[in-house]
Amino acid sequence: MFRNEKTWAGFVENNNTDEFHKKFDDAVGEVQKELGRNYPMIVGGKEVFSGNQFQVRSPADRNLILASFPLASEEDALHAIETAKNAFHAWSQVSYRSRVQIFREVADIFSHEKFKLAATMSFENGKNRLEAIGDLDESIDFMRFYAEQLEINEGFTKETRSASKNEKTRSVLKPYGVWGIIAPFNFPSAIAIGMTSGALMTGNTVVLKPSSDSPISSFKFVEAIYHKLPPAAVNFVTGAGSIVGKAIIESPDVSGIAFTGSKEVGISGYNDFVTRTPRPFISEMGGKNPAIISKTADLDKATDGVLRAAFGYSGQKCSACSRVYVQKEVAPIFLENLVTKARALKIGKPWERDTFISPVINESALKKFERASEAAKRDGKVLCGGSIVSSSELAAGNFVEPTIVTGLPRDHDLVREELFIPFLCVQEFENFDEAVAEANKSHYGLTAGLFSRDGAEIEKFFERIEAGVTYLNRSASATTGAMVGAQPFVGWKDSGISGKGAGGEYYLLQFMREQTQTRCD
């Protein structure tokens, strides 16, 4: 029976957190010995190196070269697609039981190696150790949960009632063919593995393009699984989105796309992909996620929940809380407590034990933070943060202060547009209907949270809020932290296209199409 990995929670329950930190520190030492190595692409079951490379540097220390990867050409991407197409028949004929077994084996490998994989991620995309181990837990959960779903549904085949006495009919879900997987930097293991597993486990073949900011974690997965599959069932191609991603989306030999990233890239990719012929495009495209704080709320829980949701992984989650609507009666004390807690958060190297605020991913994110801060100072009031960290020990990294802003007009760009940085806009409201209306006044509809002890408000929130993932009184995090198998992660409106959530019972269905098989006596 499927159970979530929950590594940190297990150490806490056993009162053994020092052992967790020792394991992570040991893993950091192991990872540091491997920095700077050359990595290949994997195409057609072979490792492919290239002299034309790009470097991966740590966002926590831009002088630290972590790896070099091939900079693929359009021809490289098209070759990977062709080999995946040629491998489709062989892989699609492998029994679902065999596919399930392969993914369970890889999940066990990841469970055994998770501290080293998490430490690698801390260097690669700047996640602190708890965020990184959570990413690995989610990766493992995806593989095991989807394996169980395939098993429970017997490979998604079932008998239907017969139309006449001499007929027997079955409904069979079959894979489409080649899937392009375009993964983001922020969950380079969990999201890459979740999307790739969904496609592969259902019998499709795959071309995976990771983010150029964080390709190492995705490589570790492909490295662990590709030799267990027919050659070219999974292909790993690195390089620029404008070249590799474009080739995948424009290829007529790609049957489906699974994408996680920005709304602009997702909508553009979707429009290009379905222009020639209808094809499935599974996407998650970010959010501008609100939390509503009622005057009846437990304000200690509310400030904890908002703090963790807004500033966990420096706001670089599509589910991050970036808007708060707080009732006027409690706004002063809520803000005072929230600002006090935000100022106490430790900014530091992500692999260090007590770090909470980690770096933003790259120079583009730094510039976005600068522009947002300038606009906030001009058009609103910055209660804390608003500056790039300049201390000597962090100067080589992309570190910024967690920032809380009030007094902006409700239609201001900072209130409406996704930023993907540790930047929180707080607005006041007088009545609850007003708060829900403002929360819904967004192109996005990914996650939303409420802190209230009023039964009527709670029911109204769940009835009216326009978001796919919703939480009530969740001090662990107001809008983030969906658990595989428990909280399917799905976006409404411009946050997603398919309306089916990752980590949920309907997710695998998207990678297959139905065939009715009728046999007559």
Q: Read off the pLDDT of residues 369-394 as tens digits, 9 standing for 90 and up.
A: 999 999 999 999 999 999 999 899 99
pLDDT, tens digit, 9 for 90 and up, residues 181-202: 999 999 999 999 999 999 999 9
pLDDT, tens digit, 9 for 90 and up, residues 396-409: 999 999 999 999 99
Q: What mean pLDDT comes out for the span 2-23?
A: 97
pLDDT, tens digit, 9 for 90 and up, residues 351-370: 999 999 999 999 999 999 99
pLDDT, tens digit, 9 for 90 and up, residues 445-482: 999 999 999 999 999 999 999 999 999 999 999 999 99
Q: For residue 41, what pLDDT is reported?
A: 98
Q: Is 181 helix (H, G, I), strand (E, B) or coil?
A: strand
Q: Is 235 helix (H, G, I), strand (E, B) or coil?
A: strand
Q: Does residue 162 have a pLDDT over 90? A: no
Which positions ≥6 away from 242 have C-beta within 8 Å?
none
Q: For residue 521, what pLDDT is reported?
A: 86
At 325, which amino acid appears?
Answer: Y
446 with 289: CB under 8 angstroms?
yes
| Spatial separation of the C-alpha atoms in residues 410 and 443, rounded to whole Å | 14
| Spatial separation of the C-alpha atoms in residues 328 and 349, rounded to whole Å | 37
Averaged pLDDT score across all residues of the chain: 97
Q: For residue 276, what pLDDT is reported?
A: 87
CATH class of the region 289-484: alpha beta
List the Cα angle 481/487/491 in 5-degree steps: 85
Q: For residue 426, what pLDDT is reported?
A: 98
Which positions ≥6 away from 255 have C-beta within 8 Å?
176, 177, 178, 179, 204, 279, 280
Q: Is 460 helix (H, G, I), strand (E, B) or coil?
A: helix
Catalytic residue set: 284, 318
90 with 61: CB under 8 angstroms?
no
> How many residues are there in the chain?
521
Q: Does residue 158 have a pLDDT over 90? A: yes
At 14, list the tokens: 């056993």
At 13, list the tokens: 């329950």
Q: In what helix (H) or strand (E) does residue 339 lie, and over which residues does it extend? A: helix 331-343
User: What are the residue ranges spanned by the domains of the chain?
Assistant: 7-61+73-285+497-520, 289-484
For 495, counting Cβ atoms within 10 Å of its Cβ (0-12 exposed, 13-18 middle, 19+ buried), the class is buried
Q: What mean pLDDT comes out for the span 512-519?
A: 97
At 269, list the tokens: 């990719």
Q: How confident is the model at residue 306 (pLDDT cuts 50, 70, 90)?
A: very high
At 332, list the tokens: 């002063």
Alpha helices in 93-189 (DSSP H): 96-125, 129-152
213 with 364: CB under 8 angstroms?
no
CA distances from 11 to 132, 360, 493 (A): 15, 28, 39
pLDDT, tens digit, 9 for 90 and up, residues 35-82: 999 999 999 999 999 999 999 999 999 999 999 999 999 999 999 999
| Spatial separation of the C-alpha atoms in residues 109 and 103, rounded to whole Å | 10
| Spatial separation of the C-alpha atoms in residues 40 and 69, rounded to whole Å | 6
Share of the chain above pLDDT 70, in %: 100
| Spatial separation of the C-alpha atoms in residues 272 and 168, rounded to whole Å | 41
Beta-bridge partner residues of 37: 67
At 271, list the tokens: 């429009």
Q: For residue 58, what pLDDT is reported?
A: 98
At 454, list the tokens: 């009023």
- CA 300 vs. chain centroid, Å, equals 28
205 with 45: CB under 8 angstroms?
no
Residue entry with tokens 């993914």: 103
Half-sphere exposure of 434 (CA within 13 A, CB side): 13
CATH class of the region 7-61+73-285+497-520: alpha beta
Phi-psi region of 287 (alpha: psi -120 to 50; beta: other; left: phi over 0): beta
**Model's pTM, two decimal places?**
0.97
- CA 384 vs. chain centroid, Å, equals 28
